[in-house]
């Protein structure tokens, strides 16, 4: 029942000697979802023991190079590895021509289906609802069409209370009906109420990804009460004007968004190369939102399972 984010690349624009461009893996119960695919992504995945072949979907925020340059290498390697399962790619409509170019120039034969899901909506939209996971794409505020993503586990199925099974001598048929949320009426007229005999075993977990973006008023509402928030922190307080000019955020602004959203924890990344040590950015974010951590290559942030009782 794992739910975790592994940050692989946390550099903005240009890589540095110890930071790669944007790339992240979200593991939801063994399902691997890649979020952005900067240069060197597949090498980072191999370095940290993350299976390329088991990566089932790719979510690209926008088509700036530091977020997509790694996709050609990844898709080529998947082709050579004998993959046959579809690879679903979610990205702004502008990615279509990039994908067509790749197919025309670098794929002699398409060994596996690449399913493109173009994003063009100006408001939050459900783009995936499958196997207990719901993904919402929402527009961000950047220089080109850009989307954030909200990943939520869906409500788990009902469980029947163990003590009730024995005390009431529940039959298999009765248990199945109760788990479907249906009340059971026994031959003697006794009513077994599903609402009192069942429970949902855990609270669904959530993660939101916001990069690249300037701050804007409605963003906290789009990621309201998220357990784990990744938010770009390209600049520090010393470059607040540049952040606004470039449609990026400061570390402090990332903290303010997390605070307003009621997030559980904040991970910051997408650091400008001017900051040799991003500890200064961490300090500024923590002044506003203490539950802030630095994204770093190979660092895993797990969201623990919370039982309802």
- Catalytic amino acids? 66
Classify residue 2 as left (phi > 0), alpha (psi -120 to 50) or beta.
Answer: beta
Question: Which residues touch 238 (CB under 8 Å, ≥6 apart)?
Answer: none
Those residues with Cβ within 8 angstroms of residue 55's Cβ, 6 or more apart along the chain or in another chain: 25, 32, 33, 34, 45, 87
Phi-psi group of 193: left, alpha or beta (phi > 0 → left; psi -120 to 50 → alpha; rest → beta) = beta
**Does residue 15 have a cis bond before it (omega within 30 degrees)?**
no
Q: How many CA atoms lie within 13 A of 186 on its CB side?
A: 11
Which two tokens mark 130?
Answer: 């499958």
Measured distance CA(307)–CA(309) in Å, rounded? 5
């Amino acid at each position: 029942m794992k739910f975790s984010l592994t940050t692989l690349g946390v550099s903005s624009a240009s890589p540095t000697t110890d930071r790669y461009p944007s790339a992240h893996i979200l593991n939801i119960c063994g399902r691997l979802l890649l979020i952005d695919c900067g240069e060197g992504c597949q090498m980072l995945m191999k370095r940290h023991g993350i299976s390329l072949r088991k990566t089932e979907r790719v979510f690209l925020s926008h088509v700036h190079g530091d977020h997509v340059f790694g996709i050609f290498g990844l898709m080529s390697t998947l082709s050579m590895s004998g993959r046959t399962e579809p690879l679903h790619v979610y990205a702004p409509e502008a990615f279509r021509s990039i994908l067509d170019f790749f197919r025309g120039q670098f794929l002699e034969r398409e060994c596996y289906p690449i399913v493109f899901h173009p994003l063009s909506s100006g408001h939050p939209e459900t783009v995936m609802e499958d196997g207990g996971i719901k993904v919402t794409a929402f527009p961000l505020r950047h220089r080109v069409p850009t989307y954030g993503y909200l990943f939520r586990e869906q409500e788990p199925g009902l469980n029947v209370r163990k003590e009730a099974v024995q005390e009431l001598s529940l039959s298999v048929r009765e248990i199945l009906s109760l788990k479907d949320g249906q009340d059971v009426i026994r031959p003697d007229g006794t009513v077994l109420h599903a609402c009192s005999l069942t429970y949902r075993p855990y609270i669904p977990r959530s993660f939101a990804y916001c990069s690249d973006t300037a701050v804007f008023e409605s963003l906290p509402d789009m990621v309201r009460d998220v357990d784990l928030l990744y938010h770009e922190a390209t600049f520090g307080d010393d470059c607040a004007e540049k952040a606004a000019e470039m449609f990026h955020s400061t570390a402090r602004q990332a903290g303010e968004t997390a605070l307003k959203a009621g997030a559980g924890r904040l991970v910051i990344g997408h650091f400008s190369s001017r900051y040799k040590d991003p500890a200064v950015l961490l300090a500024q974010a923590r002044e506003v939102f203490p539950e802030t951590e630095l994204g770093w290559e190979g660092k895993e942030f797990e969201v623990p399972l919370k039982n309802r009782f």
